[in-house]
Structure 1
Amino acid sequence: MPVLENATIMTIAKLAKVSHTTVSRALNGSNLVKEETREKIRAIAKEIGYTPNISARGLVNRKTFLIGVFFSEMESGTSPSFLVDVLNQAREALPTGYIVSVDSIGNYKGNALPVGRYDGVVIISQAESDDVFIDQVRDQHIPMVVLNRQLSREDIVNYATDDYLGAQLLIQYAARMGHERIGILEGHPKFSSTKERWRGYVDSLNKAGLQFNDQWVKVGDYLPKSGYDKMKELLSGSAVPSCVFVTNDDMAVGAIRACEDLGFRVPDDISILGFDDTEYSKYLVPRLTTIKKPTHALVRKGIVALTNLLSAKNVTNRTETLRPSLVIRESVANVRNETN
C-alpha cells in the first residue's frame, strides 16, 4: 500500500472498513477496541504514512503538546555543550508529537507562566535562587520535574548528579598519579555545582594531606573564555601547580589553549582535569581526563517521570542522585617517580 498525502482518520476508516470513531479509539490505545482491530488499524496508519493532527487532538484533550525546558541562566554560566546535550536528550525521550520550548528562569522570576501554555515543565536548576520559580510552577499545578540540582524537599520529582563525589574521584586520581600541587578553576559562583565541586576538591586535598594554596584558586563562569583568562592568571603567578582541576570541560578547552599560548605543554608541564565528559572532550589534544556526568540518564529519567505525571500516573522514585564516573585519558601525567 503506497504512502498517501494528507491521510486522515477517515482514510484509515475506509481502508479498515470500520468507523472513524473506532480508528480514533484504536490510535489512542482504547480498550474499547479489540486488540486485533487495533493492530490492523495501526498497521494501516503506518503503511500510508498517517500523521496525527496534534492541534486537533490538543483541542479535544485541552493539551498544547508543548514542554517548557527552563535553565537558570541562558546568557552566562550555562555551558553551550550542556544545554545542547540536555535538549537533544529531551527531544529523544519525549513521546511523539511533543515540542520543546527553551527559556531562562530569569525571564519569569516573580511572574507566573502563561496559563495553559505548557503541558509540563522541566527545570534544569543550577542555583538556590531558582526555588522562587519552582514554587511558582508548583502553585500553578503544572506537572514538573527538577533536574541537575539536589533539592532539600520531597514534594517535587528531583533527579541530580553527585558533583561532590565527582570532584573527589578526580582529586583522588590526581593524587594517585603523584600530584601534590593541585589547583582549581571554579565555575559560576552562584551555581550549586560550583559549590559541590569546590567542597569535593577541598575535602579530598585534606584527606590526602595535600597542600592548599589560595594562589592556585581562580573563579570562572563555566564558559571557555573564563577558562582561558583564569588559566593565564594562574600560570602567571609565582608558584604554579602541577595539576589543575578545571571544573567543566568547556572551561578546560580555554585552559588548554592558555597553556599552549604561554608555552606550557599538557600534560608534560601541567596536567588538566575536566568535568562533564562532553562529546568533544575525547577529541581535544591531549584527550581530556574528566568526570562523566550521566546527563543522558538524568534527562531520560526526568522525561519518563514527567510523562507519567502528564498521564496522571504515580511516580514511585521521586528523588534520586546519580553517580558520576571517572574517565581517564591523556591530560594527566604520571609524576609518581618525580619530585614535585
Structure 2
Amino acid sequence: MLDQNADINAHDMVQTNEFTGGSMAASHLMSLGHRDIALILPNNLTDNMRQRRAGFLDTLSTANLTPKTIITTTLSKHGGLAAVHQLIQSKSTAAFILNDEMAIGVLRGLAYQDIKVPDDISIIGYDDTDYAEFMIPTLTTIAQSVWEIGETALKMIIRRLDHPNLPLQTEFFDVKLVIRESTGPVKNTKGNH
C-alpha cells in the first residue's frame, strides 16, 4: 500500500512523514509573517491528508494561531478554482492547500480575479507534482520523493511475492519544503482583497 497510511498493520507500507510536511508548510508561512492563513482541503480526506492537516494545525496551535478559514472542496483543479471566492472573502494573506492539484486551480482562480501571488496572497501546495515548477508563479510546495517511493514499493511487492511469510515492513521517507515564487512576506498593510 502506498502512502495512504490506512490500516498500517495489514500490509507492507511505504509512507512519507505527512505530519512533518504539514508542519513545514505552516512554519514557512509563519516565517514570512503570515498569521491569517487559510487551509484548503478536499471533501474526503485520505489518512495521509489527515496527517498533513494535523501537522499544519499543530504548528499553528504552537504559535497560538488557528486557520483564518477552512475551505473544503473537490480534490481537483476545478475544486481549487471553486474555493477561490471563499478564499478571497476570508481576507487571508496565505493559504496551505493539501495538494498541488487543488493549488493549481487556486492559482488560476486568483489570476482570474487579478489577485497577485505572492504580492496579495501566498500559496503553498503539497506533492511537488511535475507541473508545480511550470506554473506562473512557480508553486512553493512540500516535496515527496515519488520516484524513490515507487521504486521501494515495487521492491517490497517483489520481495513479498518471493517471500510471503516475511514480517510486514514499513519504509518511511522524509519530505522537504521547495520554496518557489508563490510564497512571499506578508504585506505590512492589509491586502487589497
Q: Which residue, out of 172, 182, 187, partners 2:27?
A: 172
Q: Kindly, what percent of the aligned residue pairs are identical? A: 26
- Which residue does the alignment assign to 1:270? 121
Render the CA deviation track for 1:13-54: whole Å, top value 9, x for unaligned: xxxxxxxxxxxxxxxxxxxxxxxxxxxxxxxxxxxxxxxxxx
- Which residue does the alignment assign to 2:102? 251
- 3-state SS in 2 of match to 1:184: strand
Distance 1:258 1:231 in 2: 6
Structure 1, unmatched stretches of 5+, are 1-145
The correspondence of residues 237-248 of structure 1 with structure 2, limited to 5 A, is 237=89, 239-248=90-99
- Which residue does the alignment assign to 1:338? 188
- Which residue does the alignment assign to 2:48? 193
TM-score normalised to the size of structure 1?
Answer: 0.52
Render the CA deviation track for 1:276-305: whole Å, top value 9, x for unaligned: 000110011111100002222211111001
Indicate whether 1:147 and 2:2 are aligned.
yes
Distance 1:250 1:190 in 2: 14
- Which residue does the alignment assign to 1:157? 12
Distance 1:160 1:190 in 2: 16
Shift of 1:309: 2.1
The correspondence of residues 55-204 of structure 1 with structure 2, limited to 5 A, is 146-204=1-59
Q: Which has the larger radius of gyration?
A: 1
Contact 1:223 1:251 in 2 (8 A): yes
Shift of 1:194: 2.8
- 3-state SS in 1 of match to 2:126: coil
- Which residue does the alignment assign to 1:306? 157
Contact 2:122 2:184 in 1 (8 A): yes
Q: Which residue, out of 292, 297, 319, partners 2:148?
A: 297
Distance 2:47 2:7 in 1: 13
Distance 2:67 2:83 in 1: 18
Contact 2:16 2:175 in 1 (8 A): yes
Pair 1:192–1:207, CA change in 2 (3 A) = same
Distance 1:178 1:315 in 2: 49
Letter in 2 for 1:247: L
- Which residue does the alignment assign to 1:80? none
Shift of 1:313: 7.3
Distance 1:300 1:316 in 2: 20
Task: List, as ranges, runs of 4+ consecutive aligned residues in structure 1 with deviation greater than 3 Å.
Answer: 151-155, 313-317
> RCO greater where, 1 or 2, for CA within 8 Å and sep 6 or more?
2
Letter in 2 for 1:287: T
Shift of 1:314: 7.1
Contact 2:24 2:56 in 1 (8 A): no
TM-score normalised to the size of structure 2?
Answer: 0.89
CA RMSD of aligned residues (A): 2.0
Shift of 1:243: 0.3
Distance 2:167 2:107 in 1: 44
Contact 1:154 1:318 in 2 (8 A): no
Shift of 1:186: 0.4
Distance 1:279 1:157 in 2: 27
Q: Which residue, out of 51, 61, 65, partners 1:206?
A: 61
Letter in 1 for 2:142: I
Q: Which residue, out of 62, 66, 72, partners 1:219?
A: 72
